[in-house]
Structure 1
């Protein structure tokens, strides 16, 4: 009999069961367009129950023409496909010092692929929104009791009108050429390129135009940077992705032989493009340029590599840092904030070469 070969899929790393929160083991990834199985999962509540047969997307608020769109209605609008990386605002939270409360994400609460959908602006233009419009509120079907509160709440976020009208802010119905998976927002989710993924609301139910600032709990309590441990002084909202990089291989505390090795990883930013990725093999004393191909768009990560010949045995402290086209470079210590958002310190692994 011929030998049977099995393909072992890496399991996601569980950070929470109810609601389900799981991250991707990035060191296993050999592609930059990840399938549904590999895509990280971030939920605030248990998965919602949907009546797919009667699904409608509602538009209301400060508009002249309220809309109720079926999936078939939406399919008649011009669509576009964007390659976008989505990163949880709490990605790498487990690396903060001192520690912050919340899911202790490692490096894997980030994934990317090809999203296809209708620009939100196309539909908002049909509604005849008011000249007093300030923000667009997007409400999902997911709801429950928010952590730290006794109230039953629905997940909802708002975007400034300018961001909502950006032609790359889309209502997505496909991922990698297939309908969205249920666990990633089927049948519709918002995709907001360049912003942390809390803005890309899943299981979209209703979109409303308002003339004031939205005060929902996931807008003004969660997803705020709180620089102080004791007070809310100096707080400001989480929006655009910070410039960042991750070392995929070698792994932290890995033992290597003295032959040639490829240090590889990814780098990304929420504004501009990645223009440089550097590697240090001596804990930041000196820096070397890594190789990468510029991305086709500013919304995707770049895959980088550096071929390393250790030369001698011993312990090595490897760092990576990325720079983007607006001049932002990763620093040694991340900006600490009480809820642990936006971690983007230089990545760091230690290895021993024998």
Structure 2
């Protein structure tokens, strides 16, 4: 019996980087739409998934506030909402490309996704409780927990109050027009546009306002840039997404026929917007301007393309670099740090024309 044509259709799957806990990235060449399907949204976890239900779920806001409140799921989802479209990128994206190598999940380019998140602005929730004078940071605690350095801890992250009060920072309950999936933070997830994904705390349970810097293990140990291999001198925190880009097509080491082909990919940045993307076909000797397929918008990636006629029996090194509205561009060499965060060096692939 001959297999049907349907059997030969390519069905994309996440690429496993870890199972306990689950960490999976997206094959970058499948990110075609501005809204990444939930099934292809990358998964980043420190601990096992918590098991939660709406019926018994409450969100507590406490600390340096005028009125401590505990809100049920239905109370929060009935509040005035807004939808934020933003990319989400793991700070360890492209860790596999550091030289010398660093420890950690060996993400290539696919620890990134983009989606629509519906929720209530954090500033709206804090207007209910009131914030005391002198408040400096907001701490967000998730329901995920486990053992770290021999101690049982819960995942917690802090935000400076100035960033936390940005109206685009929301407590979300919907992802791509559906309730957030259990693997992406159900029932509530903090969404912090412009910052790496570690700030967007999943399974959000408690919000705590404090009048001093937060120093939890995922704030001052993990998610810190350590420029030196064996000392902490010169360290500083991981915050906003660094300007970056990636080539989606062709694939690295692909063999193509002579003739015209399109080079396509994505570019993004944390603050500002992408203003231009440049392509080199000769290992950086010369650069050409790519076409931006979309109108660049803050917190979103932009698609780009460049068409070229490739000659027979030639090898090509293709590089891409992006520029943004606040003067940032990608470096030729990544800023090495021992935890492997923020790799945004110029992306490159090699192809062969037969």
Q: Among residues 60, 77, 80, which one is paired with 1:58 in the alignment?
A: 60
Q: Gaps spanning 5+ residues in structure 2: where?
A: none
Query: Is 1:191–2:205 an aligned residue pair?
Result: no
3-state SS of paired residue (1:183): helix
Using the size of structure 2 for normalisation, the TM-score is: 0.97
Q: Distance in 2 between matches of 1:313 and 1:80?
A: 54
**Cα deviation digits, residues 232-281 of structure 1 (max 9, x gap):** 00000000000000001111111111021110000000010000000000
Question: CA, structure 1 residues 339+3, in 2 after alignment: closer, same or farther (shift >3 Å)?
Answer: closer
Query: Is 1:134–2:136 an aligned residue pair?
Result: yes
Query: Is 1:119–2:121 an aligned residue pair?
Result: yes
Give the conservation status (yes or no) of the 8 Å contact 2:54–2:73. Answer: no
3-state SS of paired residue (2:183): helix
**Cα deviation digits, residues 197-221 of structure 1 (max 9, x gap):** 0000000000000000111000000
Structure-1 residue corresponding to 2:30: 28
3-state SS of paired residue (2:23): strand
Q: Distance in 2 between matches of 1:179 and 1:296?
A: 28
Q: Which stretch of the first structure deviates more once superposed, 339-348 or 293-302?
A: 293-302
Structure-1 residue corresponding to 2:241: 241
> Aligned Cα RMSD in Å?
1.4
Structure-2 residue corresponding to 1:72: 74
Structure-1 residue corresponding to 2:20: 18
Q: Distance in 2 between matches of 1:294 and 1:107?
A: 21
**Cα deviation digits, residues 170-228 of structure 1 (max 9, x gap):** 00111111111110001100000000000000000000000001110000000000001
**Cα deviation digits, residues 320-350 of structure 1 (max 9, x gap):** 0000001111111010001000000000100
Structure-2 residue corresponding to 1:5: 6
Give the conservation status (yes or no) of the 8 Å contact 1:275–1:294. Answer: no
Deviation at 1:51, TM superposition (A): 3.7
Q: How do 1:55-204 and structure 2 match up within 5 A?
A: 55-146=57-148, 149-204=149-204
3-state SS of paired residue (1:99): coil
Q: Distance in 2 between matches of 1:238 and 1:107?
A: 18
Question: CA, structure 1 residues 81+51, in 2 after alignment: closer, same or farther (shift >3 Å)?
Answer: closer
TM superposition outliers: structure 1 runs of 4+ over 6 Å: none
Give the conservation status (yes or no) of the 8 Å contact 1:274–1:294. Answer: no
Q: Distance in 2 between matches of 1:99 and 1:273?
A: 31
Structure-2 residue corresponding to 1:344: 344
Q: Gaps spanning 5+ residues in structure 1: where?
A: none
Deviation at 1:294, TM superposition (A): 4.5
Deviation at 1:28, TM superposition (A): 2.3
